Structure formats: C-alpha cells, structure tokens
Structure 1
Amino acid sequence: MMKFNRIITAMALTSALVFQSVGWSKTLNIPAPAQDETQSHAGLETAVFAGGCFWGVQGVFQHVKGVTSAVSGYAGGNARTANYPTVSTGLTGHAESVSVTFDPQKITYGQLLQIFFSVAHDPTELNKQGPDYGTQYRSTLFVQNADQQKVAKAYIAQLTAGHYFTAPIATTIEEKTSFYPAEKYHQNFLNDNPSYPYIAINDLPKVQHLKADFPTLWQTEPVLVKE
C-alpha cells in the first residue's frame, strides 16, 4: 500500500489501528534472550531489521542508547529495483528495512532483538503490519554473521516455547544481503513528522513504549540520519 494512501486508511481505521499497534505491545513483557552475542566484536556492528513500514522501526531504534545510526532502506532484492515505487509493488523481494549500527560494548544484539520483538513491531503478523499488506512489510531479521544467526534462531525458539504471543511468530531469518538506503524523504520521517496521521496512530506509541519499557536503554535525543 502506497504511503500516500496511509493517511486515508489511518483516519478511517483509527480505533482499530490504535488497538493493533499499541494494545499487543502494552500487555507484553517478554524476556531478554537467554543466549546473546559475546562482546568480543571490535568496533561497531550492524544489524538489519524488517518489521513493516520503516518509519516506525527507524524511529524506535534512533532512541536506543548505543545505537550510532539507524537508516531506512530496502533489503532482500537487487539494486535495480531498490526504490520506493517499485518495492511498493511487493514483487521485488525487498522488505522495508532499517540498518542499525551499534556499539556492542554499550548494547548487545540480543537487547536489540528484545526491543524489536517487544515494541518495534508485531512479530505475529505475516506479510503485513497494521494497515500495510505485502511481502515488503514482512517481519524478517537479515542476519549479518553466524553469531547473529545463532542468537536470532535461539531467541525465536525461546519466545515460541514460552508462549509469549497469542499467535505464532511470523518472523523469518534471512541471510545477509545488500542494503540500499531509502530515498531522502523517508529518512527521519517519524522525527520530522510527528503529527502525520499514520505516524501519530501507528508509530509514536511504539516510541512511547520504548521509553516506558526500556528506561535504561532510552535516549531522549534521536540519532538522526544526516544529509
């Protein structure tokens, strides 16, 4: 669904979307991963998350301590079709994604996963998030190395075994692929457009839950994409 149609959808379905975007996460208190990466990585590390519209996912991770960059973009397809109008057809193999660069000495990949599954999106929705439908809105972890793959696989198994969700987890794990930054107008969209109906209804509650549920990992000033 093209984002210019999201205003109409959001305004027409306000009550339902608020429940869908906020209600499921308000009641969740999922544990941290029992298995996490070791902190032996030197320098910064990258993780790529796909969880529906990248506006909200980017907005959440921009407020996480230890994150040095969060860029909206496309992963899972090729360079030729890595643009918003083409990805929006759902035929390119891409997912709207966010590339998160972080300092593993300040925050771990496992902690980022806990945030991803707790407040950044609903991991039980298959090829959709809220009002948006299509494979480009799938829930996917594009693992960057063998450690991330092991931690991600173990965490999904841990959450599944613990029955923390009322529906099966739809999140898939895909191998590292090229990441293509999205167009300039998509970057920092939540920060720059807090009153935009789609953002106000679907995404600002996620940021509020991050602040409430992860106070030690919250940073007030977002890490924005610079021009």
Structure 2
Amino acid sequence: MSSLELSDLLVGYGGNAVCPPVSLTLAPGEVVAVIGTNGTGKSTLLRTVLGLQEPLSGTVSAFGRAVDERERGFRARVASVLDDDAFFPGVTVREHLVLTARGHGVPDAGVVTDQVLDHVGITGHGGAMPHTLSSGQRRRFLLASALVRPRDLLVLDEPEQRLDTAMRARLADLLRAEADAGTAVLFATHDDRLLAGTGASALHLSDDGAVLLRPDDAPGVLAGFR
C-alpha cells in the first residue's frame, strides 16, 4: 500500500488554482522533494496533502484512505513541519518534546527526546523556553517536534529555512535515515544540496505543469528546476 497518493490534485484558494494538477504516488521509504520558483504552489500543495485545506478538485489519500486531518489514525501516522511556530506555552523545549512523545505513546519518552535534541543540535537548549530561541534554533526545535514522535509519513515545508550550512547537511542525513527506516518523506525545498543529499526525486511545479524527475533520470539537471 502506498503512503500517499495524489490523483489530478488541484489546489488553490477561492476557486483559483495556484499550480497545475498533480498526480503522485509516494511509497514507504521514498523521498520526494517539491521544487519550483516562489508562488508555484509548493506550500499550498503540502497543506492540502495534510488536510489543512480542501482541494479544488482531484483526490488525496494516505495509507489507502481519504485524507482527513480530524481523523485520529491519520494524525497518529503523519508528522509535519510547516512555516509555523507552534509550541505549548509555559513549558521548556525539552518538556514540550517529552509531552509530544508521551502523547503519541512513545516508550521512554525522555530518552528519545534527549536523542532527538542531540540529532538536531540543541541539547544545550533543552531547558530554555521556546520563545527565547533564535530563529534557527526554533527551526531545529520544530524539526525535533516531528522527529520525537512515531511517523509513517513526514511532510516538511522548506525545512532548511534559517538553518546554517552544517545543520543543512545534518538534515539531509536525518531525512535519508527516515527513508531508510521506511518513512515516506515529502518536502518542499529551494536547496539543491539538500535535494542531492537526500537522494530525492523532484516534483517540479511550474506554469507548464507538474513534472516528476527521478534522481537517475536527470543527473546534474535538478538544480535547474527551481
């Protein structure tokens, strides 16, 4: 069974499409990066995939069922990071992550949280309040919020934003490890090195249509599809 399936999915606002129809099947352990210039609908596509807005037409399903963000089973299997700062008020970074992990039934939530804090490079900020973090540290914290919980599908909107070069390289390794563990990964990006580092296929959105490029179909060409 596929993790995600889009069939002639058209997304937009007020009846106006922001990108061409998209058809895509994402299997467990597969990585697809959504690329294209600003305004080509990458973020809107991801929000629709997550059930946060209704499609204009076409269908989107996850794990063989129509996407419904209200459904507990869907939320339990899908982790995401959009360009939103969302965290529990009044708790520290580590406390937030432990609560997230426990809420998703993770055994040894504290141990897992400490491992994830190390993976994203903010171990020293576990006792800080989220609002005191720098923009780059908050981005790492949001990534940790997705990585500290179980997931079969990981959806990320430009996860490289506000990250330094070293962390971007680490992020590529983390996403590759997700895929190797069987997680399906869908992310939007403007970073060619992140694209190459994950070994992702590239879904290019433009006014001319949606084109899926496999890594071995067009070596050295993906950087031009931005």
Q: TM-score under structure 1 normalisation? A: 0.28
Larger fraction in helix: 1
Which of structures 1 and 2 has the bigger CA Rg? 2
Which of 1 and 2 has higher RCO (CA within 8 Å, sep 6+)? Answer: 1
Larger fraction in strand: 2
